[in-house]
Structure 1
Amino acid sequence: MTEKPLISIEALARRYPRHGGGETTVFEDVWLPIAKGEFICLIGHSGCGKTTILNVLAGLDQPSAGVVIVDGREIAGPSLDRAVIFQGHSLLPWMSVMGNVAFAVNSRRPDWSKDRVRAHCQKYIDVVHLTGSEHKKPAELSGGMKQRVGIARALAIEPKMLLMDEPFSALDALTRGSLQDEVRRICTETEQTVFMITHDVDEAMLLADKIVLMTNGPHAKIAEIVENTLPKDRSRTNIHKHANYYALRNHLLDFLVTRSKAFTAESGANGYDPKKPPIVRPGARPVAVETGPPEPGHAVSA
C-alpha cells in the first residue's frame, strides 16, 4: 500500500484480568492498514478477539495497548464517522422505517430541514429496495427487511467506515444471499470503506477485497492478509466458475482447519513480523498444455 491508509490499526492489544490474578491476552500486536474504499473481512476461530477489534474500531471498547487512527485522528470513542451493523437489527420498535433512518440522519445533520432529511433518507431506503415500506414498523417487517433498514440507516449517515459484525448470520440462506448481493453492489457503487467480521468463507470470498486471517487465541495475531484474486465483477451465481475459486477457498480452509493451530510454533522459523504480516495471492496452478509427442531422445517427466 503506497498511499496513506484511511484507517491504521497499530500495535493493538486487549487484555482482561484473570480470576485469581494475572491477565488473559486475547490478542496483541495487531497491525492493519485499510485504504479508502477497501472491503476487509476478518476471519478467525472463536476466542481470537474479532468482535473486540470491531468494538475498538467503533469506539465501544478501549484497547489495552496500541491505537486506531482514522483519517489522521486517534479513535477516542464512538463517532458518527463510524457506523455499525450488528447481528441483530437494533431498530427502534416504535418508529417506522423512515423514522429509524431519519433518527440517525438527524443526529448526523442537526442543521438540516425536515424535508431535506426525508429526501436524504428516501434515497437510501430506495437503495436497499424498501420503497413503499417507509411507514411500516419493525414488527411488520421480515428479518431480511429489518437488516435492510439497518443497512440504510448506517449508509445514510455517510460514514467514513462501515463496521459489520456478522450481519447476515441469523438469516435464512436465500435472504442472506440476496443481502450479500445488495451490500456488494452498494459498497462497490459508493466506494464505501468496510470492515466486516464473518465465519463464512464463501461470504468473505464474495464480498471482500482482502481477507484477514487471525491466529487462534489467546495471544492472537494477524497471521496473513489474503488478497482476493477473483474478478471484481463476481457474483453468487458465477463465483465458483472462476479459475482461482478453489485455490482461494482451499487456502482459507486450510488455514482455519490446520495452519491456524500450528502458526505460533512455526512463525519464529518463518521470520514472521506482526507489523508486516505476509500478503498472499492464492491462484490456480497453470494447466499443462499438450504440445505433441516428445522428440526422440527427450525424457518425459512423470
Structure 2
Amino acid sequence: MEDRLISIEGIAKRYPAAAGGQTTIFEDLWLRVGRGEFVCVIGHSGCGKTTVLNILAGLDAPSAGAVIVDGREISGPSLDRAVIFQGHALLPWKTVLGNVAYAVASRWPKASKAEIEARATRAIATVGLAGAEGKRPAELSGGMKQRVGIARALAIEPKILLMDEPFSALDALTRGTLQEEARRICRETGQTVYMITHDVDEAIYLADKIVLMTNGPGARIAEIVVNPLPADRRQGAIHHDPNYYALRNHLIDFLVSRSKTFRDDPPAGYDPRHPPVVRLDGGVAAPPLPSAAPKLRAVAT
C-alpha cells in the first residue's frame, strides 16, 4: 500500500474578476504523492502550477479544499517543506558555507556552531561543491549558485522538496549536469520531490510520475502518467529505451492538443477525485476510461 505523504484534496484557487464575479485558476484538484516519489507537474502557463506549489509550501492558501502533509493539514510555511525557486535567492554577503549554515541554524537553533557547520559542509559536498565553501555568490557560476540552493534545501532534511523550474535559466550542459545530480541525490536519500517543469525531457528523466494539468482558467489534473523507464536510467541513454518515444509522444500530444480539449470536454467517466493513472507500457492502470483507453494503447504501441 502506498505510504502517502502528500494528499491534495479538492483544492481550488479563485481571484476577483475585473468585471465582477470570480476567475477560477484551477478547481477540484486531487492528488496523492507517496513517500520517496519524484513527481513532475506539466501544464501550460496559466494553469496554476506555481500556485499549487506555493500552497504546498504554505506561502499561499487555497480558496477551497485542503492539503494534508504527513497526516496534518498545512497552515503555513514549515521547515519540513523546502523550496527551490527558479532564482537561487542566496544572501550575497554570505559565503557558500554561510548561506547553507544559515538554513541549518534555522532548523536546529540550539545546535553548536561546529555541528551547524558540519551539517552544512556535508550538504555542500553532496552537491559537488566541496572546496567552494569560502566563496560568495558573486564568485559563482549560475549552475554553482543553484547547487548551493539545493544544498541549502537538503541541509534542513525536509520531508518534501518543492522545486519550481530550478534549472530553467541554465544553459543546456549545466542543466543536464544538475538534473543528473538532483536525481542521484534524491534516489540516494529517498527524498520526496514535487517539481514544476515545462521541459518534457526533464520530466521524463527525473520523474517517477508525471502529472498533466489542463489549460487554465478552470484547470484540473487530467492524467497521472507513470514513468515506465527503469529507475537506474541514465540521461544519455534513455532514448534507447523502447518506452521512451511512446512516453514522450504522449506528453507532447497532451500539451499540443489534449490539454485544452480535455478541460472543455473531458472524456466520459472522468472523475477529478480519481484522475486516470496511465501506464504506457500496459495501457490505463486505474480507473479505466473507456473513451480514452484506445488512444492510450495506440500511443503505447
Q: Same fold (TM over 0.5)?
A: yes
Aligned-partner SS, 1:181: helix
- 1:20 deviates by 2.3
Aligned-partner SS, 2:198: coil
Name the CA shift for 1:107/1:176 in 2 (closer, same or farther; >3 Å).
same
Q: Distance in 1 between matches of 2:114 and 2:13?
A: 44
* Equivalent AA in structure 2 for residue 240 of structure 1: H
- 1:284 deviates by 8.7
Aligned residue number for residue 297 of structure 2: none
Aligned residue number for residue 119 of structure 1: 118
Matching residue within 245, 270, 278 for 1:280: 278
Aligned residue number for residue 228 of structure 2: 229
- 1:111 deviates by 1.2
Q: Distance in 1 between matches of 2:162 and 2:260?
A: 27
Aligned residue number for residue 294 of structure 1: none
Q: Deviations over 1:29-81 (max 9, x none)?
A: 00000100000000000100000000000000110001000111110011100
Aligned residue number for residue 35 of structure 2: 36
Aligned residue number for residue 23 of structure 1: 22
Q: Distance in 1 between matches of 2:2 and 2:54?
A: 26
* Equivalent AA in structure 1 for residue 6 of structure 2: I
In the TM superposition, structure 1's runs of 4+ consecutive aligned residues that sit over 3 Å from their partners are: none
Q: Distance in 1 between matches of 2:197 and 2:167?
A: 9
Aligned residue number for residue 268 of structure 2: 270
- 1:235 deviates by 1.4
Matches within 5 A, 1:80-95: 80-95=79-94
Q: Which has the larger radius of gyration?
A: 1
Matches within 5 A, 1:134-283: 134-267=133-266, 269-283=267-281
- 1:3 deviates by 3.2
* Equivalent AA in structure 2 for residue 148 of structure 1: R
Whether the 8 Å contact between 2:3 and 2:35 is mirrored in structure 1 is no
Q: Distance in 2 between matches of 1:230 and 1:153?
A: 30
* Equivalent AA in structure 1 for residue 163 of structure 2: M
Q: Deviations over 1:227-284 (max 9, x none)?
A: 00001111111110100000000000000001112113431x4210000000001139
Aligned residue number for residue 60 of structure 2: 61
* Equivalent AA in structure 1 for residue 271 of structure 2: D
Q: Distance in 1 between matches of 2:159 and 2:227?
A: 22
Q: Distance in 2 between matches of 1:90 and 1:265?
A: 38
Normalising by structure 2, what TM-score?
A: 0.92
Q: State percent identity of aligned pairs.
A: 70
Aligned-partner SS, 1:184: helix
Name the CA shift for 1:18/1:265 in 2 (closer, same or farther; >3 Å).
closer
Aligned-partner SS, 1:263: helix
Q: Distance in 1 between matches of 2:125 and 2:119?
A: 10
* Equivalent AA in structure 2 for residue 130 of structure 1: L
Q: Distance in 2 between matches of 1:20 and 1:45?
A: 25
Whether 1:5 aligns to 2:4 is yes
* Equivalent AA in structure 1 for residue 130 of structure 2: T
Q: Distance in 1 between matches of 2:84 and 2:205?
A: 18
* Equivalent AA in structure 1 for residue 99 of structure 2: N
Give the number of equivalent residue pairs.
Answer: 283
Q: Distance in 2 between matches of 1:56 and 1:224?
A: 21
* Equivalent AA in structure 2 for residue 279 of structure 1: V
Q: Distance in 2 between matches of 1:181 and 1:159?
A: 20
Aligned-partner SS, 2:162: strand
Aligned residue number for residue 299 of structure 1: none
- 1:4 deviates by 4.5
* Structure 1 unaligned residues grouped into runs of 5+: 286-302
Whether the 8 Å contact between 1:244 and 1:284 is mirrored in structure 2 is no
Aligned-partner SS, 1:55: helix
